[in-house]
Structure 1
Amino acid sequence: MSRHQRRRQSLLRPRRLAAPPLRFVMPLSLLACLLVLLVLRGLATNEVFHDTRIAQSVDKTTVPESLLKGGPVIDARGDKKANPVSYRIPDKTVVLSFDDGPSPEWTPKVLEVLKAHDIRADFFVTGAMTTRNPELIRQVVAGGHEIGLHTFTHPDLAFQSHARISWELAQTQLALAGVAGVHSSLFRPPYSSDASAMDDWNYPVIKYVGAHGYLTAFIDKDTDDWKRPGVEEIVKAAMPSKPGAGELILLHDAGGDRAETVAALEQIIVKLQAEGYRFTTISDALGATPAMVPVHGFQLWAGKGFIWATQVAVYTLPVLVGMLALVGFLNFGRFALMLVLAPVHARRAKRTGAWGPPVTEPVTVLVPAYNERECIANTLNSLAASDYPIEVIVIDDGSTDGTADIVEEMNLPFVRLIRKVNGGKPSALNAGVAAASYDIVVMMDGDTVFEPSTVRELVQPFADPKIGAVAGNAKVGNRETLIGAWQHIEYILGHNLDRRMYDVLNVIPTIPGAVGAFRKEALRRVGGMSDDTLAEDTDITMAVLCAGWRIVYAERARAWTEAPASLQQLWSQRYRWSYGSMQAMWKHRRAVVSRGPAGRFGRIGLPLVVLFGVVAPLLAPLVDLFLLYGILFTDAPITLASWGGFIALQALLSWYAFRLDHEKPWHLISLPLQQVVYRQLMYIVLLQSTITALTGGRLRWQKLRRTGEVAAPVEA
């Protein structure tokens, strides 16, 4: 075979689609399962696919005259498909039929009356009520009564397609198989009356269900008991039109208050028995084979599985609603705290000399670097423009891409280079702290650039001797892409506005690795940077807080960092962040029962971080789940209006956060999409991080690919 032929064959061979990563499959499968549970619960409560339309009577040109003037039972099965026939109830025979049940309140009372008089009747049940009240169906069957199908969701079948009609019947049969192990060939259309009411709309439905093996039962007498006209009126309407004539009577054992029906039932039985009537079921009255037959094998187990899943869905919904309420409470509570506390921080930050005399002593800037050749020059150039006296120590942590060589070639007089074997960021920072000449050390990442005033603004709070560390304002430099814009919104709203709130509460949980400053004394007291977690910045911040130092947020100490440029890189970064943060929370869990400063953080800061940083994002997809459910199955306009109100509130808070940070709010145009897509990504990250933490997995450090596109900005 020639090379050209082989190449042609390879082009013609269909390509195998790559399977989605397992980390996406499991969380999305969980959301899909929850949506299925919501749908099952909606079916059981007649909320999903509910159709309230009722057809008005039309011409009867297609309905045979013999059916219009015949009996209440129509047989269009098998050889009668072309020419359906009707049957009357024999003289001196009464069939009592009950629609819309079973009802946990009224069906047992109806059964008691029937049992007291040793009477069997027909119950035309809906699938929705059957799945919710399985024990009542078993009582009906055990009492020798006959069950017929009244559809699953009780729609007017004149408006439904053949597929919908088949689905309504099949699902009801599935429910009957699951609760009682039977199928029924007896059917009554919702909103039906006597046979004379058939018209060109509902007659095709009768022929269609007949072709699928169903015997259709209309009525002779409609008591209109659902209108609650009074016991006497119900009894009067049930009496035969002609003395001795057989009849099929319609009553209801569900759908509202049926006290009048139960009271009237007793009188109807007594009166008709006194006139010599016998009571029986439709099949027995017509001398036909029983309508109910037992099912076995797959049909039986499929029905049991359906009922089990529906019961789980019914009992699960309150839990899901409770979790949704918790999400709402946490989100609105967080919004309220931000709106109350952020302005307090903003006013305090504007005060001149709020911390005491200006800090002017030189400081040490630590730049840990591992394979940062694309960014390190921009980082050092930005520090060269600093308006504050600094020494810079670059700690090359075993880079293999020539990062250290670039630092040496730049030959900046204020820069010292330390080369060390790769040991991780904490060890690099500890080496830098040990070599620092000054009492205050500023820490930044090797892919970050500072504004000229950043260091000066960052160190001013150290005028207060109680302050052990300061968090700066990390900003996204590559914000022009959609993913960058989403992270830009997240940094301003989810990080910086949070830090303002935590600052006022004196429980800031994280000093960003991109821009933060520490007293060497505070670091010494807590044992320096630790490699116990993958979030060394969160770990050291919590340790400093627990040691009794105060930590504040300097909003004007701006640093520009290169955010992940792809969803894959973003996932890798946030996975490490969230897992490392969980490690840090667990490491400092004893602060909850500690006294003093550690106890303050443990009882205020740690619960807030857990609730706002883990619980709320982990449960947030429930908002989108109920949104999807509401749009597809319930009231779409109200659902969209509610979601729109939530987005509007989020947009208002985001606009305020942008205003505090002196940012242009035009990026907020992508906020609605961010709330849908970004939330799912964070949910996947948190869920997998939680599973990793609970199973004792160990996550390795994941280095992101940098482009060096974020350069030193012009001073704001």
Structure 2
Amino acid sequence: MTSEGHRRSLLRRRRRRRLRRLLVLPLLLTALTVLLLRGYVHSEFLADHRVRPEAPSDRVPWEVREGGPVVDTGGPRPVGHRVPDHMIVLTFDDGPDPVWTPKVLDELAEHDARAVFFVTGAMAARHPGLVRRMVAEGHEIGLHTFNHPDLSYQSKSRIDWELAQNQLALAGAAGVRTYLFRPPYSSHAHALDNESWPVVRYVGSRGYITVLNDTDTKDWARPGVDEIVRRAVPEEAGAGAVVLMHDAGGDRSQTVAALDRLLPELKARGYAFTNLTEALRAPSAHTPVSGPELWKGRFFVLAVGVAERATSLFIAALTVVGLLVFARLGLMLLMAGAHGRAARRRAALTPEPVTRPVSVVVPAYNEAECIAHTVRSLVAGDHRVEVVVVDDGSRDATADIVEGLRLPDVRVVRQANTGKPAALNNGIAHASHDIIVMVDGDTVFEPSTIRELVQPFADPAVGAVAGNAKVGNRDTLIGAWQHIEYVMGFSLERRMYDVLRCMPTVPGAVGAFRREALERVGGVSDDTLAEDTDLTMAVHRDGWRVVYAENARAWTEAPETVRQLWSQRYRWSYGTMQAMWKHRRAVLERGPSGRFGRVGLLLISLFTVLMPLLAPLIDVFLLYGLLFGPAQRTAAVWLGVLAVQAACAAYAFRLDREPLTHLVSLPLQQVLHRQLMYLVLLRSWATALTGGRLRWQKLRRTGAVDSAPAGIAKPRHMQGSTTV
């Protein structure tokens, strides 16, 4: 490639990287903003549920306490107003509610009555259509604060904020402002005391009229329809009144039923149900809003609507991921039991063991730290092998180290650096036997690994065998997390896929293939970054069985830093997506290929792509619930899910004969490791959408795994055996 071509290629890669960030970051910021906004409008941020007890009232002016329920403190002296005789002003607090407010409005419309709705900003922003309906049908709107705190506990700045946000929601919902105000937890004028009176006086100085009540139905307590009607009727016949009711805050069926009786009964007695300003012959409570104030309100209400709908989608996605998590766990446990029973049946049949020699191909690129451990473990096994190490243009002494070992039946093939798939194909071409074992250059085998790995080839229908890859460097926190993932996820999952005959991946660390199967599918392809998954899917589609040999254990060096883990999983995740897309036609095919497509690809899509992408919602809603919701219930649910996962992990560890000590880090693994995998998958999606193609990302090895860890329990059939 010319220097100019190289420069253009580099610029294209940089543009793709920037585009991936532009795809990922807005998603994360949007999700965070949506949840914060939802917490805001659901009164979960600044909610203050304290209610002040009754206090002395000696500083409340007499003319206010005895003057009437409508208090105006904007003039030189406070004034209390009463509703004229034979007029009823129905008032409804705490709404609008999507269930009960429409029913209340329907009753008012049926009886041609008007009312005043004291709405909270949080509810008005969430249900703007109901506010618009109130205004359109001739009712008045009053402020009831944004999220319903007892204002006697609040500072003046907090009171100003509650009123301003309430007005903002009202402007966005209906395009109007109002000067009517009712304090939360208020009652009659004569109930004002030394703590609540300063609030009324301050709100009056801001241009508001405070509306209290003459009769309180206490419908919030659901005392019964008869009692609500009795309390709503003025004690003095013919006297006017401001009646307090509620259209939100709980079950308001009794309120609706009471209206159906109250309205015709009082109308028959000569009462009129009117707006407050009409009753007092005052200017309309509503002032149209225009300009920036209107657009700010509309934007706020629009954002709240988006947040509400997005949160509903998040909750639906959380439900989906919950179902997927438990479906996966249940299916894996069920299939693990079936796998064990099938293994015992096969053992009872005592088939002729596979004893013919096999070829082991080891692709190696800069593996000087660990290649000697790998090769020695291969030739020290109890099955006859030839080892072909393909040095893929290493810049270190990998090939020289192998040749310096001078081990029998070990050959080194050198080639220019052309990638792992080409190295594997070159190794297969130089192999002498019809069973090919593929091993990564950083992996150590147990003495029995190859023998266990090749036994399934006694069945001529078997084209490939997946071994049991184990994490050798598990003593760090990151290593322990990967150890849990390998045992609980990969090992348990492979048992499931084995029973369902749709094994998606024969791992590059430990896997075996029949030469005929490799030749029929054209060898190892470099079309994807997950060449092992691509090859396994191709073998399935060619009609071969792919099985799992749980006792063929190999110990590999897992990434030891977050950056290395990111790099590895990014390649795995993106490569798996590539392989799925490449073999997508299997869904429409017949026979074994169709079975793999309709079962295997479906399960991979659900459990490997969709579930990990949605799984972080569990932790997001955990954090959300702890901060803004019922913290104890949220924590109990999350701990319950964790307990189920811990039980499943313990079962998987028991199947793999692993000590349970590393499960101590499971809670952290479920939170931190899952977030990392989520980001990896999200970036993989971004890479796929932007058309990027990742290069091979070689991990730096330390040679930490030089042999199979001591103290690991042997399978029962090996106990007491000697090492050859």
Normalising by structure 1, report the TM-score.
Answer: 0.89
Partner of 1:432: 427
| 2:152 is equivalent to residue 180 of structure 1 | no
Partner of 1:310: 304
- In structure 2, stretches of 5+ residues that fail to align are 1-16, 713-724
Partner of 1:584: 579
Q: 1:127-156 CA deviation, whole Å, 9 max, x = no partner?
A: 343234323322332344321111234344
| 2:653 is equivalent to residue 661 of structure 1 | no
Partner of 2:91: 97
Task: Measure, in 1, the Cα distance between the counterparts of 2:27 and 2:52.
Answer: 40
Partner of 1:630: 625
2:142 corresponds to which letter in structure 1?
A: G
Q: 1:68-125 CA deviation, whole Å, 9 max, x = no partner?
A: 2232223345x76xx7554444567654433333355665566567668876542212
Q: 1:392-426 CA deviation, whole Å, 9 max, x = no partner?
A: 11111111223223223333332211111111111
| 2:452 is equivalent to residue 457 of structure 1 | yes
Matches within 5 A, 1:387-466: 387-466=382-461
Deviation at 1:228, TM superposition (A): 6.2
| 2:132 is equivalent to residue 134 of structure 1 | no
Task: Measure, in 1, the Cα distance between the counterparts of 2:446 and 2:111.
Answer: 92
Deviation at 1:493, TM superposition (A): 0.6
Determine helix, strand or coil for the equivalent of 1:576: helix
CA contact (8 A) 1:113 1:266 kept: no
Partner of 1:30: 27
- In structure 1, stretches of 5+ residues that fail to align are 1-19
Partner of 2:259: 261
Q: 1:399 to 1:159 in 2, by over 3 A?
A: same
Task: Measure, in 2, the Cα distance between the counterparts of 1:522 and 1:613.
Answer: 26
- Which of 618-627 and 430-439 deviates more? 618-627
Deviation at 1:431, TM superposition (A): 0.4
Deviation at 1:317, TM superposition (A): 3.9
Partner of 2:490: 495
Q: 1:200 to 1:31 in 2, by over 3 A?
A: farther
Determine helix, strand or coil for the equivalent of 1:394: strand
Deviation at 1:55, TM superposition (A): 4.0
- Which of 22-31 and 92-101 deviates more? 22-31
Partner of 2:146: 152
Determine helix, strand or coil for the equivalent of 1:101: coil
- Which of 573-582 and 68-77 deviates more? 68-77
Deviation at 1:524, TM superposition (A): 0.5
Partner of 1:374: 369
Q: 1:245-292 CA deviation, whole Å, 9 max, x = no partner?
A: 65433344455121212431233344344xxxx765444555655433
Determine helix, strand or coil for the equivalent of 2:657: coil
Partner of 1:607: 602
Determine helix, strand or coil for the equivalent of 1:250: strand
Which of 182, 189, 210 matches 2:183? 189
Partner of 2:537: 542
Partner of 1:710: 705
- Which of 102-111 and 389-398 deviates more? 102-111
Partner of 1:8: none
| 2:79 is equivalent to residue 75 of structure 1 | no
Q: 1:110 to 1:395 in 2, by over 3 A?
A: closer
Q: 1:239 to 1:611 in 2, by over 3 A?
A: closer
Deviation at 1:612, TM superposition (A): 0.8
Task: Measure, in 1, the Cα distance between the counterparts of 2:374 and 2:227.
Answer: 90
Task: Measure, in 2, the Cα distance between the counterparts of 1:465 and 1:552.
Answer: 12
CA contact (8 A) 2:472 2:709 kept: no
Determine helix, strand or coil for the equivalent of 1:249: strand
What is the identity percentage for the equivalent residue pairs of Structure 1 and Structure 2?
60
Q: 1:56-77 CA deviation, whole Å, 9 max, x = no partner?
A: 3233244333432232223345
Task: Measure, in 2, the Cα distance between the counterparts of 1:48 and 1:269.
Answer: 44
Q: 1:393 to 1:193 in 2, by over 3 A?
A: same
Task: Measure, in 2, the Cα distance between the counterparts of 1:228 and 1:94.
Answer: 22
Which of 640, 644, 661 matches 2:639? 644
Task: Measure, in 1, the Cα distance between the counterparts of 2:205 and 2:378.
Answer: 84
Partner of 1:10: none
Q: 1:404 to 1:354 in 2, by over 3 A?
A: farther
Matches within 5 A, 1:276-291: 281-283=275-277, 289-291=283-285
Task: Measure, in 2, the Cα distance between the counterparts of 1:111 and 1:655.
Answer: 58
Partner of 1:563: 558
Task: Measure, in 1, the Cα distance between the counterparts of 2:559 and 2:709.
Answer: 22
Which of 323, 329, 336 matches 2:330? 336
Q: CA RMSD in A?
A: 3.0
CA contact (8 A) 1:234 1:261 kept: no
Determine helix, strand or coil for the equivalent of 1:441: strand
Task: Measure, in 2, the Cα distance between the counterparts of 1:228 and 1:458.
Answer: 72
2:210 corresponds to which letter in structure 1?
A: T
Task: Measure, in 2, the Cα distance between the counterparts of 1:486 and 1:232.
Answer: 64
Deviation at 1:555, TM superposition (A): 1.5
CA contact (8 A) 1:175 1:306 kept: yes
Task: Measure, in 2, the Cα distance between the counterparts of 1:126 and 1:559.
Answer: 64
Q: 1:197-240 CA deviation, whole Å, 9 max, x = no partner?
A: 11234334334434544321112233445566677765654555
CA contact (8 A) 2:107 2:259 kept: no
Determine helix, strand or coil for the equivalent of 1:386: coil
Determine helix, strand or coil for the equivalent of 2:125: helix
Q: 1:232 to 1:445 in 2, by over 3 A?
A: closer
CA contact (8 A) 1:44 1:314 kept: no
1:669 corresponds to which letter in structure 2?
A: V
Q: 1:377 to 1:111 in 2, by over 3 A?
A: closer
Partner of 1:60: 57
CA contact (8 A) 1:426 1:531 kept: yes
Determine helix, strand or coil for the equivalent of 1:701: coil
| 2:711 is equivalent to residue 679 of structure 1 | no
Partner of 1:6: none
- Which of 136-145 and 300-309 deviates more? 136-145
2:442 corresponds to which letter in structure 1?
A: D
